[in-house]
Amino acid sequence: MEVPGKAQLVFVHGIGGVRDSADESRTWLTALADGARDAGHADAVSGLTQGWLAETRFVNYSDLFAPIGTQGAGETGECGDVEQIAFLGALVRELTDELLSQAQEQGDAHALRVIADALPQFPNDTGELQGTGEPLRVLARILTTLLQLPGLRRASQWASGWPLLGQLAQVGQYLDRRAHGRRDGNLDALIRQRVLDSVDPERPLVVVAHSLGSVVAYEALHHLAQPTRLFITLGAPLATAAVVLNRVIPRPARTPHSVERWLNFWDRDDIVVCRPRIKDWMLPNSAGVVPVTRRVDSDGIWVHTSTKYLRQPAVAGPIAEALKQS
């Protein structure tokens, strides 16, 4: 059943390995349908899974990233890119500081002991995070220590700091803005173009972006004119102001003009997300729209996954409502 004028649902993935677009799209839609059912939108479930409620596009840019160890950092490889190492050092430090702030507010003695073990591992001078090999091992050890926090140990998909560091490096690669010898253009422009090429300019949009995808979608939406009924960001590193928000384009950061509503969701056990303060840092668009942040609590393991967020009724409900608008 084709619905004339139906919205286009656009999924934008985040950090991680190479993906299969068809498999990922089915997985995201299934999780979203589960969440919609729990949110009281059982009538939308078949429309989501069978495709008649919305035209769905999964934006896949995972193949564009250089393997860890070629650009950025590797477990055994060397990295001479001082700017990339400095970015990773600043990002890991900001994540650590945020975890410390939360532990202090909650009076969590065990978490404070874990973070107390991590903090001395940071160099006294950020300039020490230069050279090859060793700075990356330092950052990986710090992340391995942080992954011993009770919530992160229970909820993390990373067995150690190395795979997490490799995936955090993708954020730095995107925000680097340099070509690094690529003949096809800068990485960030190539990734944004994948989003723009997926969009039907004749349809209103509902955009759901996860992790690094929230940064990609945020920048891409500034280039689109058609209405975005709803912009959903999940586990978004946009909240890490010092190292991410201050590098996004355009600056100063502003809600894209086409966005009619922006909901930002975070889980307290999602290490990629610092406590969201996006509303305080993001200027409104001409309609006065700013991101509204809501916290969700996921049980079990692997909190920093799109499907964990999409199965939350608080996340899936507004998406179903936006897609059912005529």
Residue 170 falls in which region: left (phi positive, over 0), alpha (psi -120 to 50) or beta: alpha
- Where does the chain have alpha helices with state H? 21-38, 45-50, 82-106, 109-118, 134-146, 150-155, 161-176, 187-198, 212-221, 278-281, 306-310, 313-324
> Kindly report the CA angle at 189 between 208 and 280, in degrees rounded to 5?
50
Cβ distance 282 to 288 under 8 Å?
no
State the average pLDDT for the chain.
84
Q: Which tens digits make up the pLDDT trace of 110-132?
A: 989 999 999 999 987 555 555 54
pTM listed for this prediction: 0.85
**In the chain, where does the domain assigned CATH 3.40.50.1820 lie?**
8-64+186-324
| C-alpha–C-alpha distance, residues 185 and 189, integer Å | 7
**Would you state the pLDDT for residue 13?**
96
Longest dimension (CA), the chain: 62
Mean pLDDT within 282-302? 83
**Would you state the pLDDT for residue 80?**
46
CATH topology of domain 8-64+186-324: Rossmann fold (3.40.50)
Q: Which two tokens stand for residue 28?
A: 């995201």
Ranking 86-100, 124-138, 161-175, 207-221 by mean pLDDT, the lowest is: 124-138
**Would you state the pLDDT for residue 157?**
61
pLDDT band at 260 (very low <50, low <70, confident <90, very high): very high
Ranking 53-57, 194-198, 229-233 by mean pLDDT, the lowest is: 53-57
User: Which positions ≥6 away from 247 have C-beta within 8 Å?
Assistant: 175
Cβ distance 122 to 143 under 8 Å?
no
Residue 284 above 90 pLDDT?
A: yes
Percent of the chain's residues with pLDDT above 90: 47
Residue 268 above 80 pLDDT?
A: no
User: Which positions ≥6 away from 122 have C-beta within 8 Å?
Assistant: 89, 93, 96, 138, 142
Residue 313 above 90 pLDDT?
A: yes
pLDDT band at 303 (very low <50, low <70, confident <90, very high): very low
What residue type is 58 in one-letter code? F
Q: Which two tokens stand for residue 172?
A: 């730095």
Cis peptide before 252 (omega within 30 of 0): yes
Residue 72 above 90 pLDDT?
A: no
User: Alpha-carbon torsion 119, 120, 121, 126, what sign?
Assistant: positive
Residue 108 above 50 pLDDT?
A: yes
